[in-house]
Amino acid sequence: MKLVVSVLYVIASSSLVRGQSCNPPGGGVGECISILRCPSLAALVSKPTRTQEEVNLLRGASCGFERTTPKVCCPATCSTPEGMEGQCVDIYQCGHLASMLKPPVPMEVKQYVQKFRCNGPSRYSVCCGPAPTTPASGVEVGNCENRVFALPPDPRTRCCGVDSNGANKPIRGDIDKAEINEYPWLVIIEYSKDNKIKLLCGGTLISSRYVLTAGHCVSGKILALGTPKNVRLGEYDTTNDGQDCVDVGGGQDCNDPVLIVPIERYFSHPEYNLWSKKNDIALIRLRQNAPFTDFIRPLCLPTTDVAGRSSSFNMTTAGWGAVDDDIVSSSAIKLHVQLPFVEIQQCQAALTKLRPPPNLWEKQICAGGQKDRGSCKGDSGGPLMLENVDERRYELVGVISFVSLPCGVENIPGVYTKVFAYKSWINSAIQKDASNS
């Protein structure tokens, strides 16, 4: 950090502060912010050697100081097609995209790059985010055990959202026991108080290092019951500390013993509101990387917004929550159920029966509303999943936020945080958190 300040002090010493709005060297609109909040320019400072062109870029971007930290005119942020946070710049300032356009350029590469277009400083502006780990014309599929990253995997790699046998199985409409190797991304959060462990919330493994859960699972009233301490990976039967086995076709199918990983830290969305239940989403960082096995692997982040679908469809939720009116007792076995998608307007009208009635917004989705079926107490923070039939994988559509009590009341859907609306936050928060580790 001292090196960053000393290098930029000389570069920025002659600059003047002109307010928060500014014009980056490449044109367009930017914001005068701390160099530490501008990844593209901070990366230049961190380089052991810089070209004269890069030095000129830093000098042209300087716009003052924030105490002793240099400020730069950082290009406006945007979201890449993969949901990564980027900056809208001329394509020739985005090395990994520009390199793809060296002739001859296959048509699929042209189509891939066009997806990054944004309203920026030139007619050839793109949303420049982190460089992809594989070429656009041929994404490497498989080899997941050796591709352990903090960021969520690219769904095209087949390293997320797929059961160990490579095909997901249809389920019945009623609440039922899941297969022992189904939903290997499903986790349980352990809470500790007075040297006792409680299982109060679920979550979803979305990368080797991070679990996505609800904001109310890591802040607010729940902390009076216990502090999030560990995450259970590869769990099936919570009453058994060893290997779980189920009878299958005259034989037995067994999983690996549950893996309990300590929680390094956790944080909810900065705008999470306990009372309105808006932005009810949070990330948990594990103290160690989760392995990629038949019983532990991540779930894909969504590639599309399900709220834009024109036809009716079902989604799936799973967990160890309560299964009847006795909401004190949770299920010991991993359960799953299919739930119909409910339009937000229809859901809002149905929830006027609750006291007080919630005020829903576009970053929430609803599912369920059928008697004796749906999420319940203890399922909070767990996933609402949609199977991409063509790609034969599941995607994380929602995070269980709140349901009516008693659970499974007819015509009263459950409410879920819409993950698609938070993809940029998820990826940028992971990048920022991982860089601070």
Catalytic residues: 216, 280, 380
State pLDDT tens for residues 195-208. Answer: 999 999 999 999 99
| Residue 221 binned pLDDT confidence (cut-offs 50, 70, 90) | very high
Q: Tell me the average pLDDT across 159-169.
A: 68
Q: How confident is the model at residue 5 (pLDDT cuts 50, 70, 90)?
A: very low
Find all residues with CB under 8 Å of 153, minimum gap 6, and list them.
144, 147, 159, 160, 207, 298, 300
* pLDDT for res 116: 84
Does the pLDDT at position 240 exceed 50? yes
The residue type of 192 is S
Which comes out higher in pLDDT, residue 94 or 216? 216
**What's the confidence (pLDDT) of residue 157?**
85
Angstrom distance (rounded) from CA 60 to CA 288? 41
pLDDT above 70 coverage of the chain, percent: 82
CB atoms within 10 A of CB 430: 22
CB 381 within 8 A of CB 320: no
Question: Which SS3 state, helix, strand or coil, does residue 363 take?
Answer: coil
Residues 201 and 229: beta-carbon distance below 8 Å: no
- Report pLDDT for 96: 72
Beta strand pairing call for 21-22 and 251-254: unpaired
- Can you give the pLDDT at residue 362? 94
Per-residue pLDDT, 83: 62
Q: How confident is the model at residue 27 (pLDDT cuts 50, 70, 90)?
A: low
Classify 40 in phi/psi space as left (phi over 0), alpha (psi -120 to 50) or beta.
Answer: alpha
Q: Which residues contact 163 (CB under 8 A, 6 or more apart)?
A: 169, 179, 181, 182, 184
Token pair, residue 340, equals 């119909």
322-338 pLDDT per residue, tens: 766 555 567 889 999 99
Q: Specify the higher pLDDT residue, 191 or 2.
A: 191
What mean pLDDT, rounded, does the chain reach?
81
User: Cβ neighbours of residue 48 under 8 Å, at least 6 residues apart?
Assistant: none
As given in the structure block, the two tokens for residue 151 are 């960021």
Alpha-carbon gap, residue 103 to 170, rounded angstroms: 46
Instruction: Say how many residues make up the chain.
Output: 437
pLDDT tens sequence across 35-91 = 777 766 776 776 667 777 778 878 888 888 887 888 888 777 777 766 666 777 778
The pLDDT value recorded for residue 133 is: 47
Q: What is the mean pLDDT of residues 14-41?
A: 65
Residue 367 to residue 306: CA distance in whole angstroms: 12
Query: What integer pLDDT is reported at residue 140 of this predicted model?
Result: 67
Most confident of 94-108, 214-228, 309-323: 214-228
**Burial state string for 101-111 with b = 16 or more CB within 10 A and e = fewer than 16:** eeeeeeeebee
For residue 184, count CB atoms less than 10 angstroms from its CB and return exposed for 0-12, middle for 13-18, buried for 19 or more. buried
User: Which pLDDT score is estimated for 398?
Assistant: 97
Kindly state the average pLDDT of the residues 208-234: 96
Q: What CA–CA distance (Å, rounded) separates 197 from 290?
A: 21
Over residues 301-359, the pLDDT tens digits come to: 998 898 878 778 999 999 998 766 555 567 889 999 999 999 999 999 999 888 788 89
Lowest mean pLDDT among 41-50, 117-126, 291-300, 423-432: 41-50
Pick 81 or 217 by higher pLDDT: 217
Reported for 42-46, long-range contacts at CB under 8 A and 24+ positions apart, including other chains, are: 42/4, 45/3, 45/4, 45/7, 45/8, 46/4
Distances (CA, A) of 366 to 309, 349, 369, 416: 14, 12, 9, 6
The helix (H) or strand (E) run that includes residue 46 is helix 39-46
Token output for 36 = 């530490």
What distance, in Å, lies between the first and last C-alpha atoms of the chain? Answer: 14
Looking at residue 356, the DSSP 8-state letter turns out to be: S
**Res. 296: pLDDT tops 90:** yes
Q: Evaluate if residue 163 carries a pLDDT over 60.
A: yes
DSSP codes joined into one string, 299-321: PBPPSS-GGG-SS--EEEEEES-
pLDDT tens per residue, range 165-183 = 544 444 444 568 888 989 9
